[in-house]
Amino acid sequence: MEFRQSSKLSEVCYEIRGPVIEHADALEEAGHSVLRLNTGNPALFGFEAPEEIVQDMIRMLPKAHGYTDSRGILSARRAVAQRYESMGLANIRLDDVYLGNGVSELVSMAVQALLEDGDEVLIPAPDFPLWTAVTTLAGGKAVHYLCDESSDWYPDLDDMASKITDRTRAIVVINPNNPTGAVYPKEVLEGILDLARRHHLMVLADEIYDRIVYDDAVHHPLASLAPDLVVLTFGGLSKTYRVAGFRSGWLVVTGPREHARNYLEGLTMLASMRLCPNAPAQYAIQAALGGRQSIDELTAPGGRLYEQRDRAWEKLNEIPGVSCVKPKGALYAFPRLDPAVHRIHDDEKFVLDLLLREKIQVVQGTGFNWPRPDHFRILTLPHADDLDAAISRIGRFLGGYRQ
């Protein structure tokens, strides 16, 4: 008797760690060195964990061997509440903060607690595909609203409005955005909130990159603009604090919780079912949030992330038939391959061919639920010279590539 995967997985897709990885692993086993530009993992590119976080975790380790409260330890939840109050979110109580094993776990819990079979969630295209995957797994329907490349990748509010039905329960906003690097202006956020207000939708604000912004971009926490709406704000240590492997994140509920009492009971039950988040990683939160914000040095002119973002953007735009909107935040660029020049019909094959030929691994645009095979995502995490070399190789590859 063969054991088969659940049919619930048949529509679930998660390409960032998808099948191309097996080919990359095989290449490495055969002795090739593969430049892996597929996951936003700062540790792989020489970003050290801030010393104060590591030291605090080591110091607390002997005391962190028991289960904790299932929402998480109070000192960390207090630090999270204070962080967001200082960013303009009102009246956060400690019970409004849930800690998790990364934002990923909390996204899954938040969506599972909400959806009946067939309920719809508005999710951006392109998206960070976890949102689509967990919605589908929870029996819901991911309905993608388009982000407009010709308007700096801001959400197309008309498209969003046209996709709201009586089954729509929530809107997901990823800001700063993975994969596009967009940081949304206040007017766009207000437009989204108006729709949520008019249609009684929960707002799910994935703001894990909120401190990673460049140039004149300003990140406006969505919840700070909508104290009258139930907003779940997601954040964590993986990116800003470069400790993705610690698996430490949080979710903060704001707005009229009395309209979400029953939902929050469900969320709390899911939090108890996983017993608690990894305890040592919870101790890292207070140290991180109370510490010196070294991320600002990395994103300011002359800082490593800033320079790399610039170099990636410039080099990509030098390739004939490639254009890239300048990322204003996060750790990625999402260039367009002009279909008149490159004629790519299957972008997963394109990514695989690039890997096999140049030993560079990127992720195809359709892996982010982008509807056409004309984009890919590249990280801006490698050193500028490595990015330079990698993008030159991508350009050379594209020059001779035919599908």
CA distance 14 to 8: 14
Q: Cα 285 vs. chain centroid, distance in angstroms? A: 19
Structure tokens, 153: 């990748």
CA distance 281 to 104: 15
Among 270, 276, 220, smallest CA distance to 248 is for 276
User: What strands lie across the sheet with 154-155, from one edge to the other?
Assistant: 97-100, 249-254, 231-236, 202-206, 168-174, 120-125, 141-148, 154-155
Q: Pick out residues in 298-317 that bind ligand PLP (CB under 6 A).
A: none
CA distance 121 to 101: 23
Q: Report the residue number, 250 or 350, with the smaller CB distance to ligand PLP.
A: 250
- Which of 37, 77, 98, 104 lies at the binding interface for ligand PLP (CB under 6 A)? 104
Question: Can residue 42 be called a binding residue for ligand PLP (CB under 6 A)?
Answer: no
- Which of 79, 174, 183, 355 lies at the binding interface for ligand PLP (CB under 6 A)? 174
- Which of 133, 208, 213, 394 lies at the binding interface for ligand PLP (CB under 6 A)? 208
- Which of 45, 47, 128, 313 lies at the binding interface for ligand PLP (CB under 6 A)? 128
Q: Report the residue number, 174 or 387, with the smaller CB distance to ligand PLP.
A: 174
Least spacing, CB of residue 245 vs ligand PLP, in Å: 9
How many residues belong to the site for ligand PLP (CB under 6 A)?
Answer: 13
Burial class (CB in 10 A: 0-12, 13-18, 19+), 324: buried
Number of Cβ atoms within 10 Å of the Cβ of 25? 11
Question: Can residue 195 be called a binding residue for ligand PLP (CB under 6 A)?
Answer: no
- Which of 40, 140, 181, 329 lies at the binding interface for ligand PLP (CB under 6 A)? 40
Per CB under 6 A, the segment of 20-28, 87-95, 98-106, 314-322 that binds ligand PLP is 98-106
Q: Report the residue number, 208 or 398, with the smaller CB distance to ligand PLP.
A: 208
Question: Can residue 236 be called a binding residue for ligand PLP (CB under 6 A)?
Answer: yes
Question: Can residue 249 be called a binding residue for ligand PLP (CB under 6 A)?
Answer: yes
Q: Report the residue number, 138 or 344, with the smaller CB distance to ligand PLP.
A: 138
Question: Can residue 178 be called a binding residue for ligand PLP (CB under 6 A)?
Answer: yes
Question: Can residue 206 be called a binding residue for ligand PLP (CB under 6 A)?
Answer: yes
Q: Report the residue number, 236 or 327, with the smaller CB distance to ligand PLP.
A: 236
> Read out DSSP for 81-149?
HHHHHTTT-----GGGEEEESHHHHHHHHHHHHHPPTT-EEEEEES--THHHHHHHHTT-EEEEEEEEG
> Read out DSSP for 350-364?
HHHHHHHHH-EE-EE
The DSSP code for 207 is -
Question: Can residue 103 be called a binding residue for ligand PLP (CB under 6 A)?
Answer: yes
Per CB under 6 A, the segment of 25-33, 102-110, 253-261, 274-282 that binds ligand PLP is 102-110
Question: Can residue 102 be called a binding residue for ligand PLP (CB under 6 A)?
Answer: yes
Is the distance from CB of 96 to CB of 81 less than 8 angstroms?
yes
- Which of 134, 182, 244, 344 lies at the binding interface for ligand PLP (CB under 6 A)? 244
Among 222, 283, 294, smallest CA distance to 252 is for 222
> Read out DSSP for 361-395?
E-EEGGGGT-SSS-BEEEES-S-HHHHHHHHHHHH
Question: Can residue 37 be called a binding residue for ligand PLP (CB under 6 A)?
Answer: no
Q: Report the residue number, 40 or 181, with the smaller CB distance to ligand PLP.
A: 40
Q: Report the residue number, 104 or 136, with the smaller CB distance to ligand PLP.
A: 104
The binding site for ligand PLP (CB under 6 A) comprises 40, 102-104, 128, 174, 178, 206, 208, 236, 238, 244, 249
